Amino acid sequence: MPKSAVCLKVPKKQGEVAIAFAAKLGLIDKGLSVGRDDEYLFVPLYRHPDETEFTAFTEKVPAVEVSVGSFEEKKPPQETLSQALEGKLPQELLEAVPQAFDIVGDIIIIEIPPKLKEYEHLIGESLLQTHRNIKVVLGKAGDISGVFRIRDYTFIAGEQRTSTVHREFGCTFHVDVGKAYFSPRLSHEHMRVATQVKTGEVVADLFAGVGPFAVLIGKQCPEAKVYAVDLNPEAVELLKVNVRVNRIEGHVFPICADAREIAKSQLRGVADHVIMNLPETAIDFVDAACNAIKPEGGIVHFYGFVRQPDTVEGLKQRFIEKVELCGRKVESFLAARSIRETAPFESQIVLDAQIW
């Protein structure tokens, strides 16, 4: 609700000086937003400046006027989860409350430590209270597992669903974390790979899930062709929806198939880029990437895990050996580095490999 307040009316060009001076005098009402029209700023004040203050103002900003205006109240800073739980949990447990969690659309996914299990509903309700856009709080109930790379969840608070709509870089993703893999943590990688795809190129996303790489590439580069493959029929159904809602039907093609099989047939020798985001076992599918890459070469964007004492160099070596077993060659690694820590002593690695 807008609130009426005394304010300084100053020409926009002198706004910065006026605001700095009003702040120095402690006059600005920080609970209200500064107003503006085409010419003036309206700076809300706690009180009318006295005569001395006003004279001082006019020396700095001759065109200043005191007026009355209507101002929007600023939203109070959001309470943190720990702040919301203060007094509701014993101090020693408060310290164990997770500081980090994933947000997918309007769902929070959190890992509740075993010692906080009996408080998980309270934690979930506090998350709903501190994150007004969130409607569902899910607890991780196991590791990502199986061929489809999904996990079980418990409903901790809010609505009982695992589906949502997530937005990333202007793309809309229909997601169901209970049925198909999706992680918001790789968004920078989705964009990094998408920016490498050029007009007229062909991309084979061999483990596409609901399409975070494929859809973004399709959106960013309408002149590229993207084949988006996944073995999980639920993932491919969501991918089809995502292709439709992002209006990229003409050049992004969802395919429900085994990556190895399709790379030997429909996708043999078609791709300038192959994306391999199946970090646990991608090394066993390097033959599929070699089959899909054009005879004249291309780039494989390969994701893997490295667990100490293994190293990025070790992974590069294993990758080179697999490529050579297919009768092809790694010309160079355009990128080879850790993109995030996934567990103590374990990182997720990306290799961008130029293959001939």
Ligand X SMILES: C[S@@+](CC[C@H](N)C(=O)[O-])C[C@H]1O[C@@H](n2cnc3c(N)ncnc32)[C@H](O)[C@@H]1O
Residues that bind ligand X (CB under 6 A): 147-149, 180-183, 186, 207-209, 212-213, 229-232, 235, 258-259, 277-278
Least separation in angstroms between CB 236 and ligand X: 9
Least separation in angstroms between CB 248 and ligand X: 16
Per residue, the 3-state secondary structure of 127-152, as one string, reads: HHHHCCCCCEEEEECCCCECCCCECC
* CB closer to ligand X out of 27 and 288: 288
* CB closer to ligand X out of 32 and 239: 239
Least separation in angstroms between CB 231 and ligand X: 4
* CB closer to ligand X out of 85 and 216: 216
Could you give the CA distance from residue 328 to residue 320 in angstroms, rounded to a whole number?
A: 9
* CB closer to ligand X out of 259 and 299: 259
Could you give the CA distance from residue 264 to residue 284 in angstroms, rounded to a whole number?
A: 15
| Alpha-carbon dihedral sign for residues 312, 294, 237, 212 | positive
Nearest-5° angle of CA 121, CA 122, CA 124?
60
Least separation in angstroms between CB 123 and ligand X: 27
Q: Which amino acid is at 314?
A: G
Residue nearest to ligand X (CB): 209
Could you give the CA distance from residue 320 to residue 183 in angstroms, rounded to a whole number?
A: 28
Q: What is the DSSP letter of 111?
A: -
* CB closer to ligand X out of 233 and 314: 233
CB 291 within 8 A of CB 271: no
Least separation in angstroms between CB 273 and ligand X: 13
